Amino acid sequence: MTIMDVNQIRQILPHRYPFLLVDRIIEMDETHIVGIKNVTANEPFFQGHFPEFPVMPGVLIVEAMAQTAGVQVLASIPDRHNKLVFLVSVDAARFRKPVVPGDQLRIEMRVTRRKGTVAKMAGQVTVDGVLVAEAEVMCKLEDKVAETAAL
């Protein structure tokens, strides 16, 4: 069951191809979210990581976790179009198995602490029920700053 498709996610997150790393949301409440990322052979990072044995970089798996967390944080905010969610820390990151083309990432994130503009979330990423990665991420809400003519 899909709660949000990629077009609805694009209304919440500012990320765009090739850096939008969440394809859909299948579960979400105030403290928990599950996102899906379909890993395809034509992902741009596979051209260099590694051409003979394509493996999704761990930092991009963590980024997919952070983006999923960002959807959860921003979805309940009425003025979310005026906000950005910044990743401020990553802790306890572990990578258990390589992620390769054809895999479907199930990204489960749970709020462990939320105070004011800061949220800490713990998550796990699985492929076909097998744990491939886990991490804790902290993100902070910030107001978007309008560009000025001085730039």
Q: How far apart are CA 137 and CA 87, in angstroms?
A: 7
The predicted pLDDT at position 43 comes to 96
Would you tell me which CATH number, out of the four given (3.40.50.20, 3.40.50.1400, 3.50.50.60, 3.10.129.10), belongs to the domain 6-143? 3.10.129.10
Q: Write down the pLDDT at residue 151.
A: 52
The one-character DSSP state at 9 is: H
pLDDT at 113: 96
User: Cα(66)–Cα(133) distance, rounded to whole angstroms?
Assistant: 13
Tokens read off for 83 = 């906000």
| Residues 92-138 pLDDT 10s | 999 999 999 999 999 999 999 999 999 999 999 999 999 999 999 99
pLDDT tens-digit map of 3-34: 999 999 999 999 999 999 999 999 999 999 99
Q: What does the pLDDT average to over 82-86? A: 93
pLDDT of 62 > 60? The answer is yes
Active site residue 49: yes
Per-residue pLDDT band at 150 (split at 50, 70, 90): very low
**Catalytic residue (choose from 15, 32, 49, 81):** 49
- The CB-side HSE value for 150 (13 A sphere, CA atoms) comes to 2
**Model pLDDT, residue 78:** 85
Terminal-to-terminal C-alpha distance of the chain: 45
Residue-wise pLDDT tens digits, 35-60: 999 999 999 999 999 989 999 999 99
Give residue limits of the domains in the chain. 6-143
Q: Could you tell me the pTM of the whole model?
A: 0.94
